[in-house]
Amino acid sequence: MGRKLLTEHINVEGIHTLDVYRKHGGYRSVEKALKTMTPDEVVEEVKKSGLRGRGGAGFPTGLKWSFLAKPEGVPRYLVCNADESEPGTFKDRQLMSKLPHLLIEGMITGSYALGANTSYIYIRGELLYVLRILEKAIAEAYAAGFLGKNILGSGYDLDLYVHPGGGAYICGEETALLESLEGKRGNPRNKPPFPAVQGLYARPTVVNNVESIAAVPVIVNEGGDEYAKIGVGKSTGTKLFSACGHLNKPGIYEIELGLPVEEFIYSDEYCGGIWKGRDLKAVVAGGSSVPILPKELILKTATGEDRLMTYESLSDGGFVTGTMLGSGGFIAMDETTNIVRNTWNFSRFYHHESCGQCSPCREGTGWLEKVLHRLVHGHGQMQDIDLLVSVAKQIEGNTICPLGEAAAWPVAAAVRHFRDEFEWHVTHPQEATKPGAIFPGKLVTA
């Protein structure tokens, strides 16, 4: 079993309280950073650690921090993106509700590194109970002198606020999140300017995922070089995966990056194999927006190497035979799964969540959903399958924010790898639309 850096003490009784959290080494990084390190040194450690954004895009966190514009006399902000709403991803919720102080500790250390005196945690509206846990923890941190004026006598001030969203997936996009935080309609902004230059209230802002920020205390405590020793190549450290679907042991697993996918699915230490003794059909490896892969391609790359749980290995082969690590929402589907119906379900989500600002996404997501609806309900025609690919292509890359791609990729990938199942829905509509119908054909790969 690999090391657990974030979730080591997650099951300790009362770990959500400051006292217990401190007994298990909590807030050491705040003391270390504020008393012995300059802000730039903290940024340097994070850079050395090779930590990559855990929200989905995988951009190096240290690099993002070093891009932050620092004009004189202008406030800067650190914003934590806790608007976790990608279908299949539920790691941040667990982290925040069990270990609220870990996030707060990361926010303090991170804000110190960036020179921010006000920081925000933007939390998904549906997670109201987590918001209450966080607020209680923040009150404890204020009382203990970890937040507020002159933290630990270092002269550094920080105020931390939690702000709930209204429950829109689009507000997980960083600029839409900032708009929403400013009290406006959560529409993504056009980039440039990037948030590092003009973010919250047109001030330089860094937006980081919960898990990225939670990794900062570990990096500061152990040193960036130590952290970078875990993992493979440019995928360093540990990552939380929320495994769900047809698994014997779905749940949240912290793994060292570099674990083979096969071991993650079948080892008893992790997911324990596919439920009911069935065979694996397909996996969506990083939340619903990344391309789906059939069993053969998720276990081995196209060149026959073992697929590893790293940013590089999962995206090996591009989108033709690969996928992405994404946010770590690992959805496994057994042999009885209807891929067409599943794709329609994803598509329905993106249709519902498109903000409606730019035309390809506003109209295209609805179009995809309607065509898939037709196919699923047995009214599809053969040309609809190519139509799906064509519409997905018209959306992809032409939108303001990545929601367009998130809607297009799963559809394009499903057709790419499971075309015969789509065709089966056209040629055998009555059979295919029966409840519990199982595709009898064999799987194709690109």
Give me the residues that bind another protein (CB under 8 A), please: 168, 170, 185, 190, 192, 351-360, 362-367, 370, 387, 390, 393-394, 397-400
- The answer to whether 254 touches 4, Cβ cutoff 8 Å, is yes
Kindly calculate the radius of gyration of the chain based on its CA atoms and give it in whole angstroms: 22
**Given the complex with another protein, which of 259 and 371 has the nearer CB atom?**
371
Rounded to a whole number of angstroms, the minimum distance from the CB of residue 400 to another protein is: 6
Least Cβ distance, residue 87 to another protein (angstroms): 16
Smallest gap, in angstroms, from Cβ of residue 322 to another protein?
A: 18
The residue length of the chain stands at: 446
> Nearest distance from residue 345's CB to another protein, in Å?
16
Q: 95 vs 176, which CB is nearer to another protein?
A: 176
Residue closer to another protein, measured from CB, 316 or 363: 363
* Distance between CA atoms of residues 175 and 274, nearest Å: 39
CB-nearer residue toward another protein: 322 or 366: 366
The tokens for 153 are 């006598």
Whichever of 12 and 387 has its CB closer to another protein, that residue is 387
As a three-state string, the secondary structure of 161-182 is EEEECCCCHHHHCHHHHHHHHC
Closer to another protein at the Cβ: 41 or 386?
386
Residue 43 CB, shortest distance to another protein, in Å, is 24
CB of 394 to another protein, least distance (A): 4
Residue 188 or 294: the one with the smaller Cβ distance to another protein is 188
Q: Tell me whether residue 132 or residue 393 sits nearer to another protein (CB atom).
A: 393
Q: How far is the CB of 190 from another protein (least distance, A)?
A: 4
The least distance separating another protein from the CB of residue 392, rounded to whole angstroms, comes to 11
| Count of Cβ atoms closer than 10 Å to residue 72 Cβ | 4
Q: Both tokens of residue 309?
A: 């749980």
The secondary structure of the chain, three-state, reads CCCCCCCCCCCCCCCCCHHHHHHCCCCHHHHHHHHHCCHHHHHHHHHHHCCECCCCCCCEHHHHHHCCCCCCCCCCEEEEEECCCCCCCCHHHHHHHHCHHHHHHHHHHHHHHHCCCEEEEEECCCCHHHHHHHHHHHHHHHHCCCCECCHHHCCCCEEEEEEECCCCHHHHCHHHHHHHHCCCCCCCCCCCCCCCCCCHHHCCEEEEEHHHHHHHHHHHHHCHHHHHHCEECCEECEEEEEEEECECCCEEEEEECCCEHHHHHHCCCCCCCEHHHCCEEEEECCCCCCCEEEHHHHHECCCCCECECCHHHHCCCHHHHCCCCCCCEEEEEECCCCHHHHHHHHHHHHHHHCCCCCHHHHHHHHHHHHHHHHHHCCCCCHHHHHHHHHHHHHHCCCCCCCHHHHHHHHHHHHHHHHHHHHHHHHHCHHHHCCCCCCCCCCCCCC
Nearer to another protein, 222 or 363 (CB): 363
- Whole-number minimum distance, CB 390 to another protein, in Å? 8
CB of residue 175 to another protein, shortest distance in Å: 12
- Residue closer to another protein by CB (options 32, 362) is 362
CB of 364 to another protein, least distance (A): 6
**Where does residue 252 rank: exposed (0-12), middle (13-18), buried (19+ CB within 10 A)?**
buried
**Residue placing its CB nearer to another protein in the complex, 70 or 352:** 352
